[in-house]
Amino acid sequence: MKQMLSADLKSRLEDASDSPLRLHDPSRGYAGVSLEGVAEPADAGALSRVLKVLDEQRSPVAILGSESRSWLGNPLKPTRMGISTARLSGIDEFDEADGVIRVGAGTALDKLAERTARSGWWLPIDSPGRGGTVGGALATALCGPRRRGFGPVRDSVLGLDTVLAQGAHVRCGARVVKNVTGYDMAKLYVGSLGTLGVIERAWLRLRAAPESALIFQASIEGAVHAEGLAVARRATTRAIAVVDESLIPFGAPHLGRPPRLGKRHRLIVEFAGDAPAVDQDGNWVADELGAEPAPADAIESLRDLQILEFPIGVRVRFHTRPSQAEQARMLLERGGARCLICPEPSVLTAWFEAGLDEGEDPWWLDQVFAVVDEVRAASSAEAIIEALPDWARGRRDAFGGSPVLGLMRDLKERFDPNGILNPGRFVGRL
């Protein structure tokens, strides 16, 4: 029998957040649980009060943004409450002269990007899929095809306001672009899936909009990764991906253009920077690979493709070194996977799709895991399982563990002694 949220807790939470609890759509689960109520604090103070109440009650809580990345990580341990950052949104300060911006965690990425672009600045956060909030992008630290140009998410975070599990409102970093004042605490929260503290707002570093940007695509075959790497290492490459043609109709139909005969892979590249340099690289890729212009939304299409889920399938992300990526690709393709490859830094996303008769066959899943383990061992790669069929969720740590799990557990206990923040979702079920 499911125990309902006690009326007492409910009212204390509503007092703390100064607003009624929102009901979570019962038809939509969240990371393997169904939430009974979601608090929507409007500022750091309210967030702090809500967390204090929950921590006193030892009540686990899920941290929600737009819920667009709930596929990442392990299923939550039983959790009935959620905290949404929806009302912690908006731009506090936008220093257009300096190219830095302070925004609330609940701010929608697309709207923010649109706003900064109007002033000549790019938001260098390139999260896979669509939608998403700043807080979610930082907490997941996922990268899209533009990682080549933008760098990892952590590089764009200058300062954070977070609220820890016991309600402490903690600041780290600042608005300036260079800073070594004390420990680099922001690094801890970025990519920690909300398990150390709730990101409340952030100072972000923006990038100057380039003078020119061009996108090309080409069909390639053979030493796929090597060719991709050569393109990735051009001076103005901002986004790059090599995609299995057969994924495009499912994940990125906008890319259009039928596959070329005998070529299994398509390379999509975006050059950005000073016009002469972009033109130079464009000419080069046209000459070398016979590339032709791609649709303007090709990069968005690639982002969509990154989160493609087959009805019954497994999606795994591998991080490897460039010198070992080709081998990883071949092992994966031999193992029945289809890949999207970002050559530098080398990230391979691999899709395994179950046939009809394989349905809910654990044997099939074991085979997939065997391929994953083989790739991991052969190319010393990290493997993160991003999507599993429902019946298989939680069979294995999505992050594949860590050699320093002991330190991480210790860290988690110091920041969240009662383990209430997103319990179970992170590496090693932290």
From residue 178, alpha-carbon distances to 105, 148, 154, 189, 225 in Å are 22, 21, 13, 18, 35
37-39/81-84 β-pairing: parallel
For the CB of residue 294, give the shortest distance to other proteins in the complex, in Å.
Answer: 22
Cβ closest to other proteins, residue 244 vs residue 281: 281
Q: Please, which residues have CB within 8 angstroms of residue 276's CB and are 6 or more apart in sequence?
A: none
Under DSSP, the state recorded for 98 is T
**Amino acid of residue 142:** L
Q: Are 76 and 35 in contact (CB under 8 A)?
A: no
For the CB of residue 76, give the shortest distance to other proteins in the complex, in Å.
Answer: 18
Cβ closest to other proteins, residue 21 vs residue 387: 387
For the CB of residue 87, give the shortest distance to other proteins in the complex, in Å.
Answer: 22
For the CB of residue 160, give the shortest distance to other proteins in the complex, in Å.
Answer: 11
157-164/91-95 β-pairing: unpaired
121-122/157-164 β-pairing: unpaired
Which residue in 377, 232, 248, 383 sits closest to 314, CA to CA?
383
For the CB of residue 137, give the shortest distance to other proteins in the complex, in Å.
Answer: 15
For the CB of residue 163, give the shortest distance to other proteins in the complex, in Å.
Answer: 10
For the CB of residue 32, give the shortest distance to other proteins in the complex, in Å.
Answer: 19
Cβ closest to other proteins, residue 134 vs residue 172: 172
Cβ closest to other proteins, residue 4 vs residue 174: 174
Cβ closest to other proteins, residue 7 vs residue 180: 180
Q: Please, which residues have CB within 8 angstroms of residue 153's CB and are 6 or more apart in sequence?
A: 125, 137, 138, 141, 142, 143, 190, 191
For the CB of residue 211, give the shortest distance to other proteins in the complex, in Å.
Answer: 8
Cβ closest to other proteins, residue 67 vs residue 281: 281
Cβ closest to other proteins, residue 234 vs residue 338: 234
Q: Please, which residues have CB within 8 angstroms of residue 291's CB and are 6 or more apart in sequence?
A: 216, 217, 218, 267, 269, 285
The DSSP element (H or E) to which 331 belongs, if any, is helix 322-334
Kindly report the number of other CB atoms within 10 A of residue 61's CB atom.
Answer: 28
For the CB of residue 26, give the shortest distance to other proteins in the complex, in Å.
Answer: 32
Q: How far apart are the first and last CA of the chain?
A: 26
Cβ closest to other proteins, residue 393 vs residue 409: 409
Which residue in 158, 176, 291 sits closest to 231, CA to CA?
291
Cβ closest to other proteins, residue 27 vs residue 181: 181
Q: How far apart are CA 160 and CA 171, in angstroms?
A: 6
